[in-house]
Structure 1
């Protein structure tokens, strides 16, 4: 293999091969959704910071989820919006593409772990309420949050994916049929056997998707059993309302990711995979603050208190 065949300086992101008018409409729509994602998650962070009643472990983990969602969206969406706009040169350098892939995997891993921590917090709150303040003390919460970030951002799995990509030769064409450097789309451009990469991706999906999802399901099966034992109808309603919001977020994130990376690829053509990627790279992240705010009386109460303070000034 010659040197000019193995070294790639840039890729072309094909994005959505649609007419210019539709691309401009999508650019406006996705820009609006991106702004909503930033504002919604930013509002969650602001409310938790400003309202002392939200200074609890549950909202401590929710604030970390909001930070992950903002970072996750900002890694992929701005480049997609640039390519959907008037930019005719839809290229990305090999270095930036590799970095985008690494951050994409790292933030995904972090989000999975944060969701597990949130489910554990709800399990302790409902199944062991008398011991909650002891088990979920601030030192423990801090360790759990730092561990989630450390395992995601400096984790071995994301680094292994990148190292395995770097060893592959890319002989051309250099057109990625996606709106960002999604790992499966990048691998299709390699002119070498990617069997090892595929095996590692599947193994990582089992470890970082199926494993945490099983932990979440175990927590929520016990939570459901505990809720059904609550005598008070109001108590059952409050507990179920709080947990159902988190379970909706878990279902949307893990469901779309598992379909994307573990379902047989023959059932999901490339265009369908792009839509799935768009769903958990943008729509999920925009829906998270809406789900938590619309179905959470404490968040709504905090918002009213903050707005009332602003009016009183």
Structure 2
């Protein structure tokens, strides 16, 4: 018997995996990459975490699909910012269901706890996720299972319901006790997650770019870094430190040209394509102002 687990790398999803593994069920983990994670080392962390949990890790890159079908037209709307949590979770279940069938797993598990998150983990929201995902009966939430209707896995006897839990709310005492029991204390992290779409400033950057030039997965990373300017309607991004330089220098999209300092150390910039000459000159002067040079040549173009 095999199950597939939606795996964020957090404590709750790790505990959900442990609870199902205890019932002699093989679990494979799935991380769904929509591109808006705050942790730059997330994939490497997940690889290490999956090894500790003794699960095979699948990574599904759905950035383009997510932007096209979910981000700007969610059926259930947004949270406080540009976070379509219900639609996002439902889409994750759809992706997991597709992979579940390919690996011959029988059901899906995740680490959701009833009442832990105000938008996506209320009972009505969980029901909406189930209905929108088209996976009714397939989603087992081991940490809160006793508070929810039995799933197919429980009804068919693949999983013993009595060995599952009935945790609810934002209090984390039970999870922390289980972390000690399973010796997985290094998985402890904030249940709030790390999605940049919940951040007001980042959300504004996405909306502004979408409305003015368009937005694709190639623009996600450049919106995570740099100083952002809008001069006479033309967009300019300038890195703040050497760690941000490669992010802008490696931009592969079609909306911006790359600006670099010629023969002297300094920031990397992006400038909107088809920008007038006077704005380009101003952008070059801005770039130089962040260096120790009084004057310098800025090269625009790849």
- Confirm or deny a common fold (TM above 0.5): no
Structure with bigger helix share is 1
Between structure 1 and structure 2, the one with the greater Rg is 2
Higher relative contact order, chain-length normalized (CA < 8 Å, sep 6+): 1
**TM-score after normalising by structure 1:** 0.23
More strand by share: 2
